[in-house]
């Protein structure tokens, strides 16, 4: 970093007051680029650890006695599961077991309207940012029905156990939705939105609903579906495109906390799908999925993807740019295949059509040079790559 430090110090000492604001912006840019460079090294290691853990998951769970069969005998405690209903004016919480009796009596229950349920992930709950951000987006758009399942009592600790609990949770919610059909709930109106483990809860919910009613739910939107313990599994053990009339998936941390496999009718891989810009750690990339989805609710055509064979081909511009689709809430239900796109590194993330053209933002020095040259109009001296590693 000798070259970089020397350059910044010289620039600071020779600055006028008018230049200080530019240097502050430059410092922010340096921080972002350093994060990108560090992530480039950390990401492969984390993916390797995640893969090893996922590939041995079945055997470890059996060894520890945390399998579906082990819990099925006595059954986990599902009594604390709740549904949180949110409007602009109020929030109402229903015990999931009593929901089939209570919900049809409510004035807000209108079977003709979309029935949206958000399903959170590991260590999360409806009071946290994921649901608050998504529900806020829907309520800004219109005063619609939006619910959230609170399954935190069962998936708050011990990830291996939580991966087993998602099936029990999904089965219970599926039964509840099936019990609402006689009250007028239409299968086509059901829209399940799941993040991480919540994606697989959605899958088991839809499977159970189909088994009990013979109908498929209308839509499942999966936001970075959980990868560890769900990679390379049969479709009856995870979310699948067979679970709903339409399944759209957004991958933002594929290969680490998220699933890399394409499992929907349409799968979007923003920024390659494995790491997101301005994210140093996987948790940031993993959470980016629901941030992108919430933005898509308010800005319908912010995210446009192109069907591409791979991210490398997208970077080279070798994609079918005639075959594009909108990512997020307004994704056309006839979309099929895998799509790539690029986003901004901060909100608003959507780049619209500009997101179809790859822009390299990973090199620290190159971006700093471009910033300085744009501001000063001067050419900077060339450097040798070894100069930043002394």
- Contact predicate 3/388, CB 8 Å: yes
- Burial of residue 6 (number of CB atoms within 10 Å: 0-12, 13-18, 19+): exposed
388: how many CB neighbours lie within 10 A of its CB? 15
CA–CA gap between residue 230 and residue 258 (Å, rounded)? 9
Q: What is the 3-state secondary structure (H, E, C) of the chain?
A: CHHHHHHHHHHHHCCCHHHHHHHHHHHHHHHHHHHHHHHHHHHHHHHHHHHHHHHCHHHHHHHHCCCHHHHHCCCCCCCCCEEEEECCCCEEEEECCCHHHHHHHCCCCCCCCCEEEEECCCCCCCCCHHHHHHHHHHHHHCCCCEEEEECHHHHCCCHHHHHHHHHHHHHHHHHHHHHHHHHCCCHHHEEEEEECHHHHHHHHHHHHHHHHHCCCEEEEEEECCECCCCCCCCHHHCCCHHHEEEEEEECCCECCCECCCCCCCEEEEECCCCCCCCCCCHHHHHHHHHHHHHHHHHCCCCEEEEECCCHHHHHHCCCEEEEEEECCCCCCCCCCEEEEECCCCCCCCCCEHHHHCCCCCCCHHHHHHHHHHHHHCCCCCCCCHHHHHC
Cα 207 versus chain centre, distance: 22
Which residues are catalytically annotated? 196, 224, 286
Residue whose C-alpha is closest to residue 180's, from 119, 236, 241, 96: 96
């Amino acid at each position: 970093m000798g070259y970089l430090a020397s350059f910044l110090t010289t620039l600071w000492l020779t600055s006028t007051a008018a230049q200080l604001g530019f240097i502050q912006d430059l410092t922010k840019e340096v921080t972002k680029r350093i994060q990108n460079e560090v992530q480039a090294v950390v990401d492969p290691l984390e993916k390797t650890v995640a893969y090893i853990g996922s590939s041995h998951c079945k055997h470890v769970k059996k060894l520890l006695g945390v399998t579906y069969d082990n819990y099925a005998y006595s059954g986990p405690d599902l009594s604390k599961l709740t549904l949180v209903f949110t409007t602009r004016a109020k929030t109402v919480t229903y015990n999931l077991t009593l929901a089939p009796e209570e919900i049809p009596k409510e004035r807000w229950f209108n079977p003709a309207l979309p029935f949206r349920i958000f399903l959170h992930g590991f260590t999360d709950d409806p009071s946290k940012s994921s649901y608050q951000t998504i529900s806020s987006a829907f309520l800004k758009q219109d005063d619609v029905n939006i619910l959230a399942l609170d399954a935190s009592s069962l998936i708050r600790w011990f990830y291996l156990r939580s991966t087993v609990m998602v099936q029990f949770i999904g089965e219970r919610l599926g039964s509840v939705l099936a019990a609402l059909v006689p009250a007028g709930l239409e299968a086509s109106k059901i829209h399940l939105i799941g993040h991480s483990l919540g994606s697989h809860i959605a899958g088991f919910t839809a499977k159970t609903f189909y088994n009990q009613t013979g109908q498929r739910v209308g839509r499942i939107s999966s936001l970075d579906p959980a990868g560890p313990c769900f990679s390379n599994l049969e479709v009856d053990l995870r979310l699948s495109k067979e679970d709903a009339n339409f399944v759209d998936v957004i991958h933002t941390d594929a290969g680490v906390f998220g699933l890399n496999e394409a499992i929907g009718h349409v799968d979007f891989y923003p920024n390659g799908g494995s790491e997101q810009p301005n994210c140093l750690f996987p948790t940031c990339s993993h959470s980016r999925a629901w941030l992108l989805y919430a933005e898509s609710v308010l800005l319908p055509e912010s995210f446009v993807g192109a069907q591409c064979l791979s991210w490398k081909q997208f970077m080279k511009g070798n994609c079918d740019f005639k075959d594009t689709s909108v990512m997020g809430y307004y994704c056309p239900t006839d979309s099929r295949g895998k799509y790539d796109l690029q986003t901004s590194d901060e909100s608003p993330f959507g780049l619209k059509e500009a997101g179809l053209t790859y822009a390299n933002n990973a090199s620290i020095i190159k971006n700093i040079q471009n910033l300085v040259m744009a501001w000063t109009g001067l050419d900077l001296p060339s450097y040798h790559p070894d100069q930043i590693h002394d």
